Amino acid sequence: MAASVFFSYSHVDEALRDQVETQLALLKRQGVIETWHDRRIGAGEEFAGAIDRHVETDDIILLLVSADFIASDYCYDIEMKRAMERHAAGEAIVIPVILRACDWHGAPFGKLNATPPNGTPVTQ
C-alpha cells in the first residue's frame, strides 16, 4: 500500500510545491506514495475539514518551509503544530523541506533533519 504524503505550504509557494511534487513523480508512478494538497479539495467540500483529515491520517507530512510558511497562522499554528504532535507520537513522519531561505532553526521542526542536506533552500 502506498504511503500518503501531505503537503503543508503557503500558497505563495505554490509553484515550488508543484516542483517538489514533480520530483516525487517516479515514486508516485511506482505506487510507493500518493500525494495530496489543498488544491485537490473538491467543489463543495469543506476546506478545513478536508485539510484536517489529511493532517490527521497521512503517513508523511512535508512542511514546505519559507518565511511565508512561518508567517502563516494556518500553516504554523494548525497544520505544523498537529503534524509535530503526530510525529512525536510516532503516528507520522514530518519532513521539513526548505524552499526559501528563512530563519527556521528555532521552530518546533528545527530539531528535525531537513532536506535538502544542511538545510540549504531548494531555490539556492
- CATH value at residue 100: 3.40.50.10140
Q: Using CA atoms, how far apart are residues 35 and 101, in angstroms rounded to an integer?
A: 25
Question: Across all residues in the chain, what is the average pLDDT?
Answer: 96
Domain residue limits at 85: 3-119
Per the structure, how many domains does the chain have? 1
Inside any domain, residue 60: yes
Inside any domain, residue 81: yes
Closest CA to 63 of 40, 42, 88, 37: 37
Inside any domain, residue 42: yes
pLDDT of residue 119: 83
CB atoms within 10 A of CB 70: 17
Q: What integer is the mean pLDDT of 23-31? A: 97
**pLDDT of 124 above 90:** no
Inside any domain, residue 39: yes
pLDDT of residue 21: 96
Inside any domain, residue 124: no
